[in-house]
A and B are shown apart, each in its own frame.
Chain A
């Protein structure tokens, strides 16, 4: 290993070390150099489809895709010569010319702005190359995933994330060349395919062709295309996926998986990705409730509710002793709640009459 780390390649005149198996793109990125990519997702197997990451390699006749080229000791790499940059610009112009639009709302998905950013970086204005447009959008009545293939650039990130990361193989490719079309088995609805609506395709799509239909409901509220992100943990099962909650004006408008989440590395399931709106549902309890003389629950103040809650425990304690009171902590609330529930019972009544909801 020590020997392997001594192996070096030269990138833009600077000698850098690499580990066996690393690609030229990975080595370059590790040394904080930017190489443009579209079909690249660091979690997926290198694909070499978009050709934007091409670099010049001393001794090679043509530029090579850095994402599929493994670093070999002694390589001399140029990442941004004039020729390379011209190639990249032309490739981008071709891709952009084929799409209905490039300016997409960031609520479409985590990576949806990638093509837009590259267009801005290369200062490409409008479609310089015009002609037929590829990709036919698919009407699909599902409430979660928009299939706007007129924005598709055939990078296959959705196909690959579904196969390699989610392991569902729900997304396929139909036809070839200009007629290439991303679809599902038998070209049907996602509901009738192997799709589990985990949303990973939405979040890896670099153009917003596959988009978060549910988040897009808030598109008018996120006026300047800006929203806040708060890192937290998914509220559902015990896997503990890291998520970023997207908010605007104190409203939750969507969820992004955390690509660096230790438990999920960018993956989520249908619940974690789409079932967040229970939080701001009108059914939420907003005030304390207290049972009245009429036997019904009525809204009341915190003071009265807490007094009644405490009085009831006091009375039962006085009449039946300390072993007549029981506490059940939640497996959904944070640990501070569970800790204080057990402290309430133990420090308050001196018993161990406490449990949580793990037995059901």
Chain B
């Protein structure tokens, strides 16, 4: 997030797109509810009539995968109506003239033809956002899990840059991170393109720095992403070490994924349960869980916080860091003589400019949001206040692209996937918490009531849902949350493995799968 969580109470215009925040980040959503109670206006763009949509002042029910078109149409209106921040554009950005020219063709009427959202509503959204000097954007995976995830994010940046709605209280571009330490995993360098602290691996300076630190010359080329690695399993990838991820259920195209992991010569999984993924491993190593492990995590607002052990682990379970060190030492690797998490975190801080001012003791009270470049630095709750990391904000002349697969006679229904309030990811955790079943005992497919007859479905009965990759059986639930022609299911339940169907395409830059769009066919069972 560019802005801190406390800022969520501050905007006058809130633009939520592709985020089901009241279910997926419920506590963050309380900030928005307070802003609304204070008089802020909420614009929600989402294919489904989610909880946020019910709370909104303007709801834009766009077709799945058409976000770029909607955002281009909004940019067009903002420019046409003269709602741009000329001073901000002049001082802080580059490429506006070309962008201005580019967006002149993408009228709201054109956007309506792609998104299905009435042009006048697109105009209203643009006018509200453009006219406000305290407008904030919030998004989640509904923006990124598309083949055009990068263009979607760039389109949001365009809106913020042209109106100057960034770098101040109550503004910003704010992606909500989905897992407790997914931000920290990236910060720590578990990425194929970056060393710890987002230092590019293709920069020889960084290569030299880490050669000095690790005593090993590391490739100057980027590594491959997980998605590519899974494609190359059995071909050029022959061994994997997976820590705490149920790849098989969480990733798209389960059959492909299972085949990939099975074709490895050597698979080692570190986890707290014998997940579907761990069942395929040659060696499964039991890790300590949350509540049993001392360590550090970083939240969606870049706040670096301590996690603390409260109870001892079961049996012989060991912390992840200890397990990795033991394997490394057996392979003769240097620099793995750690006896506690503290020196590991402190080593990370020393090598990472964004954590340079931090250490194990300093984060005791959760006070710091990175970047914290040196020990006297107070941290950075708000990014981009005076300057952008790369100097000027760059406008991107993006184009709309259709999803990887579009509906056809064979697969005439849009399936979109996501999460639910009461379950988390593949339910390895919430599925084992007593009482959760009372609220959410099983998965079901949300279908608009008016579509039931057309597809010969019955509310509460089972149906067969097929995509180009496979079929699953799932119970039908009639609800107006789904628009006509679009259905929804979460990927949380192992007995309804929705990710058997998904995986039609990937963003070419980030390799994020298009989990939000998958044409399917529905048949009664």
Contact = CB atoms under 8 A, between A and B. Distances in A.
Given A167-B30, A245-B291, A306-B326, A288 B283 contact: yes
A201 to B, nearest CB: 14
A355 B225 contact: yes
A33 to B, nearest CB: 26
A165 B335 CA distance: 48
Contacts of A142: 435, 438
Contacts of B391: none
Interface of B: 5, 22, 24-30, 33-34, 36-37, 176-193, 195-196, 201, 210, 214-219, 221-227, 229, 236-245, 247, 250-252, 265-266, 268, 270-274, 278-279, 281-287, 289-301, 303, 305-312, 314-321, 323-328, 330-331, 333-336, 338, 341, 344-345, 347-348, 366-367, 421-422, 424, 428-436, 438-439, 510-513, 515
A336 B292 CA distance: 14
A287 B285 CA distance: 7
A171 to B, nearest CB: 15
B330 A310 contact: yes
Contacts of B189: 338-339, 342-343, 346, 354
A139 to B, nearest CB: 15
Interface in A312-329: 312-317, 319-320, 323-329
A316 B333 contact: no
A346 B214 contact: yes
Contact of A313 (B266, B300, B430): B266
Which of B5, B184, B217, B347 is the most central at the interface, judged by chain A CB atoms within 10 Å of its CB? Answer: B184
Interface string A70-95: 00000000000000000000000000
Which of A197, A268, A288, A335 is the most central at the interface, judged by chain B CB atoms within 10 Å of its CB? Answer: A335
Contact of B243 (A231, A267, A290, A337): A337
Contacts of B289: 235, 278-279, 284
A240 B297 contact: yes
A240 B274 contact: no
A213 to B, nearest CB: 8
Interface size class of A (residues with CB under 8 A): 35 or more
Pairs of residues from A and B, 5 with the lowest C-beta to C-beta distance, nearest first: A334-B295, A286-B315, A240-B299, A167-B33, A352-B223
Given A238-B179, A291-B281, A338-B190, A344 B30 contact: no
Given A167-B33, A278-B432, A312 B185 contact: no
Interface stretch (A9-17, A172-180, A246-254): A246-254
A306 B34 CA distance: 51
B449 to A, nearest CB: 20
Interface in A259-318: 261-264, 267-272, 274-281, 283-291, 297, 302, 305-310, 312-317
A26 to B, nearest CB: 19
A335 B298 contact: yes
14 contacts: A167-B36, A167-B37, A196-B421, A238-B300, A285-B274, A286-B286, A289-B274, A320-B236, A326-B229, A326-B237, A333-B287, A335-B296, A335-B297, A356-B226
Given A238-B177, A356-B185, A275 B436 contact: yes
B11 to A, nearest CB: 15
Contacts of A236: 180, 424, 429
Nearest to A167: B33
A239 interface: yes
B320 A336 contact: yes
A348 interface: yes
A67 interface: no
A326 B282 CA distance: 15
Nearest to B323: A306
Contact of B286 (A268, A285, A338): A285
